[in-house]
Structure 1
Amino acid sequence: MIRRFGEGPLRGQRYTRRHGVYAVLTLGREVLLTHQAEPEPEFQLPGGGIDPGESPLRALHREVYEETGWTLTGAVRLGAFRRFAYLPEYDLWAEKLCTVYLARPVRQLSLPPEPGHSAVWMDPDAAIPLLGNDGDRHFMAQVAQRLR
């Protein structure tokens, strides 16, 4: 069973299952996050949905690049969680199944190509309360403890 974070499903609401991959990216004592400006400003672990026919690791590389402009290496699965959310950018009620990896950013190729995103470096302990959902905070806290 995959641990749930956040609110449970709303009674009577239909949800579309969306598989996604996310990364805690560490370099030295810092982590690389993405800041998404819209629909609500929010710090997030870089990542997102897996496209049809795409492998989870390929999706992770693509999403991290799109949201940060960086490449990554050494992805190791930390765990998974699920959450129920309304995604206004897709007008979709989703059951998000989120797999989280620990990886190292290697090289910045560009600014984030995805509109409204910016790459932000910070201390992992400072990142925990700023992250936009409980699942992201849970995995960041695990990594922060390892880095202390």
Structure 2
Amino acid sequence: MIRRFGDAPESGRSYTLRTGAYAILPHGDGLLLTRQDAPGPEVQLPGGGVDPGESPVQALIREVYEETGWRITRARRLGAYRRFTYMPEYDLWAEKLCLIYMAAPVMRYGDPLEPGHTALWMDVAEAMTTLANSGDRDFVARFASHLPVFQKRR
């Protein structure tokens, strides 16, 4: 069974399944994240929807590059969660199946390609309280529980 985060599905509402791949990207003492300006400003794990004909890892590599300007390697799936939400950019009520990976950011090629996104580095402890999505916060907290350096700072 896949754990659900956020609001329960509304009775009688039809949801479209939307699979996405998202990454925890550690480097040094921080994580590479993205700040999305619209529909409202929020900090997110980089990633997004899997397009038809694309594998989740291919989508992850593409989305991280578009949202941060960074190339990644060694993507390893950590788990998944579901959430039910309205996606105003698509005018869509979605059941999002969020596949969470850990990967290594290896090279910055430039600014994010996707309008309204800004790459940012954030301390792991700050990310656990700043990420907009409770599912993302949960996966970062699980990641942090395995970091000896983070455990010493608590």
TM range (shorter): over 0.9
Q: Which residue pairs with 1:117 in the alignment?
A: 117
1:145 counterpart = 2:114: no
Shift in Å, 1:28: 1.6
Q: Partners in 2 of 1:146 and 1:43 — Cα distance?
A: 23
Cα deviation, 1:37-72, whole Å, max 9, x if unaligned, reads 000100000000000000111000000000000000
In structure 1, the gaps of 5 or more residues are none
Q: What amino acid is the match of 1:127?
A: A
Q: Partners in 1 of 2:30 and 2:146 — Cα distance?
A: 12
Q: Which residue pairs with 1:61 in the alignment?
A: 61
Q: Which residue pairs with 2:11 in the alignment?
A: 11
Q: Which residue pairs with 1:78 in the alignment?
A: 78
Q: Partners in 2 of 1:42 and 1:143 — Cα distance?
A: 21
Q: Partners in 1 of 2:112 and 2:144 — Cα distance?
A: 25
Q: TM-score normalised to the size of structure 2?
A: 0.94
Q: What amino acid is the match of 1:40?
A: G
Q: Partners in 2 of 1:32 and 1:100 — Cα distance?
A: 14
Q: Which residue pairs with 2:91 in the alignment?
A: 91
Match of 1:146, SS state, is coil
Q: Which residue pairs with 1:21 in the alignment?
A: 21
Q: Which runs of 4+ in 1 moved over 6 A?
A: none
Cα deviation, 1:115-142, whole Å, max 9, x if unaligned, reads 0000010101111111111100001111
Q: TM-score normalised to the size of structure 1?
A: 0.98
Cα deviation, 1:15-46, whole Å, max 9, x if unaligned, reads 00000000000012110000000001000000
In structure 2, the gaps of 5 or more residues are none
The alignment yields a C-alpha RMSD, in angstroms, of 0.6
1:129 counterpart = 2:98: no
